[in-house]
Every structure is written in C-alpha cells, then in structure tokens.
Amino acid sequence: MAKLHVELVSPEREIWAGEADMVVAKTIEGEMGILPGHAPVLGVMVDGSVVRVHPADGGEVVAAMVSGGFFSVASNEVSVLAEYAELGGEVDVHAAREEYERVSAQDGDEAAAAQRRARARLRAAGQEV
Amino acid sequence: MGAQLRVVRRRIASTKSMAKITRAQELIASSRIVKAQQRVRESGPYARQITRAISALVSHNVGVGHPLLTERPESNRAAVLLITSDRGFAGGYNANVLREAEGLMTMLREQGKEPIAYIVGRKGVGWYRFREREYADAWTGFSDNPRFEHAETIGRALVGEFSKPVEEGGVGEIHIVYTEFVSMLTQTAQVRRLLPLEIEEADELPEEQSQGALPAYDFEPSASAVLDALLPNYIESRIWHMLLQAAASEHAQRRRAMKSATDNANDVIESLTRVANQARQAEITQEISEIVGGANALAETSAGSE
C-alpha cells in the first residue's frame, strides 16, 4: 500500500518527517483524516489543536500541538505547516497543566485562545483534560 | 629604563590586549555563523511549502482583488523596513544597509512618494536619532539571534499599516532593506518589495521549478478563507527569512572585521617590538660608551697625577 510522506514543520525548524499511514488534523470545519491517495487539499488548522500522525512503521502515534497554520496534501505528500508546534513528547506536562489552570480562570478572547492552546498541549502529551 | 622604551612597551601591551579581544570576537562570530546558517536551512522547509501553497492558490485565481495583492496607487506613502544590527564591530554591515536604504528613499521621493522608516536594530535607530530624522517604529535587541515571534510582531505591524485606509496614514507599499548572505565571503545589501506581494519562488530551490503544474487543490473551508489565513503567514515567513539572512550576514561580517582587526594589531605589535628592541639596544650602547668613557677619563686623571 502506498504511504504518505509527512513533513511537520514550523518556521524555526522541522518538527517531524517520515512515512505515515494516516494523518489526522483539525480544520475550522472539523477533524479530517488523511489516508494515502487523498485528493489534493489545502486546509486551515484551528489555533490550538492536535495533529496526529500514525507512522508507517507501526510505531507510536506522533501527536503534536499546533497553533495556527495549515496543511497541504498532494500526491501522497502531506505538509503540516504550523506557526508554532510542539511534539507531545517534548511537552513539560507539569508546566502545561499549571498554565492551563491559570488561563482557565481568566475571561476574554485572549484567554480563551490561550486555554485552547494549553489544552491542546496537554492532549498532545497524552493527558486527559 | 629610558622614557621612549617605556612608552613603546606600554603600547605593545595595550595592543596585545586589544588583539586578544578582537580575536575572541572573531572566534565567537565564527561559531555563531554556523548556527545562523543552520537556522537559515531549518527555515527552508516551511518557506518552501508556504510558497508552494500560495502559488497554488494564486494559480487558481483566488487572489484577484485581495487587498494584500493589489496595488494601492491612491496612497503616496511607502514604508521602508531597515534591518540593521544591534552591535557595531561588523565592518561595513550597517553602513551598507543604510546607504542602500538612502538610495531607495531618494528613488521613492523622486517618484513623489513619502518614505516612512521602520527600523530593526540599535545601530539603525542610533543613525536616525543622531541625524534627528523621524522613524515610525523600531524593534531592537534580537538582530544577532532572531526568533519567529519577532518576525511575527514586525509582520503584523507592517500588514496593519498596509491595511489601514489612506486617510488614516495607511501605506501603499512596503520595502525591506536587508543583507543577503550569499556566502561566507560575500554578503550584499538588498532591497525587496514586500507588499503588494509578488510571490517569488524560493531562489535556493531550482528543482521546484521543474515540478510542473500544481495539482487542483480542494480548499478547507474555502479558497478565500485559506488565502486570508495564509498571506499573513507568508509575509511573516518572508520577514523571518530576511531576519535570519541578516543575522548570518552580521556574524560573517563581524568575523571578517574582527579578523582584519586582529591581523592589524599583530602587525602593529611586530613593528612596535622592532622599535622597542632598537630603543633598548640604543640604551645599552649608550650605557657602554658612558662606562668606557668614564673609565678612560678616570684612567687619564690617575695617569696625570702620577
């Protein structure tokens, strides 16, 4: 079966790259799963969402928190371009939890966005929120 | 010790300590160039992908009439962003950027436009302050090690100026003057127009052009929404690229400036050492002739008394 070639990049560096069976990303209209052979698509991702990549070698699912950005799919090439991205494994869970609780107590649009990002960070790290 | 010798020795000592400082600066800059070049490389994938996505959108004719892509002849104000360094000791780095910017501004004035300066880096700010010229905004403190947030802040500010109505002082175009890192030996000051956008293929990737027509994309949620979300990102990515290039150039030029300063200091030390040796030798010669002269005089007087 054909594989997806995935690149997860932020402006500062490449976060993850490799072969994958499936990529799940969240657009403004909902979650979207991408399998090999998907039609070309450009989608805007939700600020503060989680992208999951199922590696082709059957390894553990790679989860990353992304804030803003978009993904493009074309001929089994998937590029996820995030303005800011962090792999679940790199998240400092304790700090993220504190941050989440701090911003949850606040009101306003800024705080809501920060809360969404903090929640995505925790979920990327495999934590229940 | 004679006065001349003492003075020369003191100068040698101070030149030596100066050489030590410039040598250290040179080494620091060399190690940072590698880091800066690596960051330029790491920013490559993102820049490449976003350029491709934008090209795909534009090839679908989505961008027609988008405010960031259209000329604004009604505004005669033009923003000029100067990317200079925070610290000196970088040879002609800042002078070149400022000269290039002056040329651009003269050209804009000849076209009947009013240039407005935006500055990155303390040296540029200092230059403007000293000449008591006005500038609209400045960002300092990160020229040698920029982070993406800085590009984001600058990008938002500039796009904000561009999106403002003309009556409120909106600008009609945005230019950037920065230093392109061509190679370790060559860095050139460049002028680029940022807005209205001209989508350029990343120059460093010739293989991109051979990929042929872009696939017919679907857009999620819609083409114009994607473009709206993408264009600011693209602009930030362009600015980010320029900040990184400028940082790498700054280190490269500093390294070169410091290398020639160290070489000069070593030359000065060498010639001063010669002068010092000569002075020391002259002193010794003089002492010997004084002793000999004194002994002779003594011998003569004692010979006369006998």
By the 10 Å C-beta count (0-12 exposed, 13-18 middle, 19+ buried), B73 is classed as exposed
CATH number, domain containing residue A75: 2.60.15.10
Residue of B nearest to A29 (CA): B221
Same-domain pairing of A65 and A99: no
Whole-number pLDDT of residue B206: 44
Nearest to B53 among A68, A70, A84 (CB): A70
Q: Is residue A33 domain-resident?
A: yes
Same-domain pairing of A57 and A84: yes
| CATH class of the region B43-255 | alpha beta
Whole-number pLDDT of residue B202: 46
Phi, psi of A63 (to 5 degrees): -110, 140
* CB proximity A40 to B under 8 Å: yes
Contact state of B43 with A11 under an 8 Å Cβ cutoff:
yes
Whole-number pLDDT of residue B204: 42
Could you give the number of structural domains in chain A? 2
Q: Could you tell me what percent of chain A has a pLDDT over 70?
A: 99
* CB proximity B137 to A under 8 Å: no
Q: Which residues of chain B have pLDDT under 70?
A: 1, 61-64, 199-214, 305-306
Contact state of B217 with A13 under an 8 Å Cβ cutoff:
no
Does the structure show a pLDDT above 90 at A88? no
Q: Give Cβ neighbours of residue B12 (< 8 Å, ≥ 6 apart).
A: B269, B272, B273, B276
Whole-number pLDDT of residue B37: 92
- A32 neighbourhood in chain B, CB within 8 Å: 220
**Shortest CA gap B29–chain A (Å):** 21
- Domain of residue A119: give its range: 92-124
DSSP result, B149-204: HHHHHHHHHHHHHHHS-GGGT--SEEEEEEEEE-SSS-EEEEEEEEES------TT
Whole-number pLDDT of residue B219: 84
Contact state of B39 with A70 under an 8 Å Cβ cutoff:
no
Distance CA A58, CA A5 (A): 15
Whole-number pLDDT of residue B203: 45
Same-domain pairing of A101 and A81: no
- Residue range A8-28, pLDDT digits in tens: 998 888 889 999 999 999 988
Instruction: Provide the β-strand partners of residue A67.
Output: A84
Residue of A nearest to B55 (CA): A42
Mutant choice from A26, A72, A75, A76 vs B, greatest count of B C-beta within 10 A: A72
For residue A126, the 8-state DSSP code is T
* CB proximity A68 to B under 8 Å: yes
- Residue range B110-162, pLDDT digits in tens: 998 999 999 999 999 999 999 999 999 999 999 988 999 999 999 999 988 88
Same-domain pairing of A50 and A83: yes
- Residue range A31-76, pLDDT digits in tens: 899 999 999 888 889 888 899 999 988 888 889 999 888 898 988 9
- A38 neighbourhood in chain B, CB within 8 Å: none
Beta strands in A1-129 (DSSP E): 4-9, 14-27, 30-34, 41-44, 49-55, 62-74, 77-87
Whole-number pLDDT of residue B18: 95
* CB proximity B50 to A under 8 Å: yes
Q: Is residue A129 domain-resident?
A: no
Same-domain pairing of A84 and A96: no
* CB proximity A29 to B under 8 Å: yes
Same-domain pairing of A20 and A53: yes
